Amino acid sequence: MAIPASSTTERTVTLSPSGQVALRQNVRRSAWRWPAIVSPQLIIGSALLALLIIAAIFAPILAISPPDEIEPVQRLLPPSPEHPFGTDQLGRDLFSRVIYGSRLALQMSVLSVALSAIPGIVLGLIAGYYRNWINIALTMVMDAWLSFPGLLLAIVLVARMGPSLGTTVIALGIVGVPAFYRLVRNSTMSARHALYIEAAYSMGFSEARILFRHVLPNLASPIIVLTTLRLGAMLLAGGGLSFIGLGAQPPDPEWGALLAAGRDSMGRAWWLATFPGLAIALSVLGFNLMGDGLRDALAPDQKSRRSHKPKVRRIERWLAVARGLRAGGKQSDQQAASSMNQG
């Protein structure tokens, strides 16, 4: 079957049945791939987080010595091939302590975000779906919750419960609940009147099934982005609490505690605070870059769409050819003949 190659050319293109099948496959493949935007932020953030995860998993292999091994004769040694990050006031290898500190950083950030996300998502779904006195009461509580500065509230909670890594995780988890609640509540209110929700309701599905099988999966993209960004914020907040003595306690090699231990020796031992500070900065940067990249990939904005216009035009040309293949019949043959006569 012959069809015009395009509206601006006079050539005709003849496609075999196998060519038509390949054309349809290319159209499907292109239509599936073009919204997936892999930004440089996502690549860099994923690389930084991969380094963090590798350090946490393989800490016993990567560490030069146990993190608590004391060598008094090697006190305050500068960075060298034997001790890449130097040693601290007790002769402990700082590289090993920073590597083991990655485990505490991941544990603190992941657990605190999980404690924030689970109640925040559940309460947000309930408040956004029912829109009654439950919504009003929960929203008033969350607004009052947000009236307190988050870090100050965490400091009060940790001071009341006692400084430790566990109480830091609980305090940061409590502080982060309103962020997930507001996101899920607003998204649920928007999705409540969607056609697929009305169809599920008309089929007699229970409200619990509608919430957790139909509404919640469609909120996965914004929840994933917020979770990634909150991981970096919780890591930074936990490091801040440890820096002022309210987080992990010695001899735990938590990065904030290492930074606090080296702040008084910056003049004569600059490496004590430099390397733990770089570990915190790079980890938080990785979470933030990954969150921005996921936001562009899962919900691309107009700028991202404009940057992919050439790909969209190519897909539109494929779709135009596919429509011509489906049209077929005498009309396509007449169009090809008239195109040849005009030439």
330-339: b (≥16 Cβ within 10 Å) or e: eebeebbeeb
Furthest CA-CA distance within the chain: 96
Q: Please write the tens of the pLDDT for every residue from 73-99.
A: 999 899 999 999 999 989 999 999 999
User: Residue 32's pLDDT is what?
Assistant: 38
Domain ranges in the chain are 2-34+308-342, 40-305
User: Residue 3's pLDDT is what?
Assistant: 41
User: Residue 207's pLDDT is what?
Assistant: 81
User: Residue 8's pLDDT is what?
Assistant: 38
Q: Are 282 and 48 in contact (CB under 8 A)?
A: yes
Q: Which residues contact 280 (CB under 8 A, 6 or more apart)?
A: 105, 235, 236, 239, 255, 256, 259
User: Residue 168's pLDDT is what?
Assistant: 93
User: Residue 132's pLDDT is what?
Assistant: 82
User: Residue 214's pLDDT is what?
Assistant: 84
Alpha-carbon distance of 215 to 299, in angstroms, equals 17
Secondary element (H or E) of residue 214 = none
User: Residue 321's pLDDT is what?
Assistant: 53
Q: What is the CATH number of domain 40-305?
A: 1.10.3720.10
User: Residue 279's pLDDT is what?
Assistant: 95
User: Residue 213's pLDDT is what?
Assistant: 86
User: 334: which 2 tokens?
Assistant: 């007449």
Strand blocks (E) in 90-138: none
Q: Please write the tens of the pLDDT for every residue from 311-337.
A: 445 555 555 555 555 555 545 445 544
Residue ranges for the chain with pLDDT beneath 70: 1-37, 299-343
User: Residue 131's pLDDT is what?
Assistant: 78
